[in-house]
Amino acid sequence: MDFRQLRYFLAVSEELSFSRAAQRCFISQSAISHQVTRLEQELGTSLFERSTRVVRITPAGSRLVPIAQQVMSLEAKAFAVAREPRNRIRIAANMSFANRSLDAISRVREQYGDMDIEFVIKSFTDRIDAVVAGDADIALIRGSADRPGLESVALGVEDLMIVTSREHPLSAFSKVEIGELAPYPLLLPPRQSQVLIHSVVENAFEEVGRRMQLGPAVARDHRAVLDVITNPRAWTVLYPSNAGDTPSKGLQFMHETHNRLRIPVCGVVRTGGAAVPAMAAVIEALRESIAAEE
């Protein structure tokens, strides 16, 4: 038994759905199902009743929930108390947050000249774990994270950019309604590697009562924007920060007319961490930097 298995078990117990729990944990459904099955094998009992339509927690699973919550809370507390005090704030993120983070850091240093503020690059899972372990003070993410001992602080929103070839039938417009894209194939990396983007686009199509047409998954060594150029009827989406770094030749960038491709941006901190004055200043500076790009 390990912390990861308990974390995934709690996600399934709250969502009562392996697919939704996988989305929340940003892993594949098969991976979360495998880890929960391993936990059941180690405990020698079933924690969930599974069928094609519904997932129900068993009595054994219900008894395990409060224990698992305590263990997750103790994990966060153990890392927090073991961490040596320091006059430093470390921001963990990926490169798409770099410009806004550096802008926020420069603002905070004007107020806290003796504060050492660092920006470190980490994958999604690693940056959340870094906050739990005390190796980072705030993790910047899109979406949210629900783990005992941590809290998500709203920083702003981003609207995904729609990208097509200049030869696409809709490329004459600067804005497009999501339902108009239903006849055209959407090119994205595999769902397990981009759960959040897949979910946002799927929800947008559901909202207008249309079904999206998902094209072949983009290969790891490809970029979706290159594939839309070679497939003029296809389209893809990009985070606005990535769109700004993408050469525009041969491409058309569009907004969704009704902002249905909106994604929340959050900072994940240890519970109570947002109230620390220096951290509160960092959070406010990040909000200002993100708002400036909207």
* DSSP class per residue in 96-120: GGHHHHHHHHHHHHHH-TT-EEEEE
> What is the architecture of the domain spanning 83-156+265-293?
3-Layer(aba) Sandwich (3.40)
Domain over 3-74 is classified CATH 1.10.10.10: yes
d(CA 134, CA 83): 6
What pLDDT does residue 294 have? 63
Q: What tokens appear for 139 in the block?
A: 């993790």
d(CA 51, CA 168): 43
Q: Which strand (E) or helix (H) includes residue 7?
A: helix 3-15
What pLDDT does residue 219 have? 75
What pLDDT does residue 83 have? 59
Fold of the domain spanning 161-260: D-Maltodextrin-Binding Protein; domain 2 (3.40.190)
What pLDDT does residue 194 have? 83
What pLDDT does residue 285 have? 93
- Spacing of C-alpha 204 from chain mean position: 17
pLDDT digits (tens, 9 = 90+) for 160-188: 999 999 999 999 999 999 999 999 999 99
Low-confidence ranges of the chain (pLDDT < 70): 80-86, 220-222, 243-247, 294
d(CA 294, CA 283): 17
The distance in angstroms from the start CA to the end CA of the chain is 44
DSSP string, 228-261: HHHSTT-EEEE-HHHHHTS--TTEEEEEETT-TT
Q: What tokens appear for 149 in the block?
A: 């001992």
Residues of the chain with CATH 3.40.190.10: 83-156+265-293, 161-260
What pLDDT does residue 222 have? 61
What pLDDT does residue 256 have? 96
What pLDDT does residue 80 have? 64
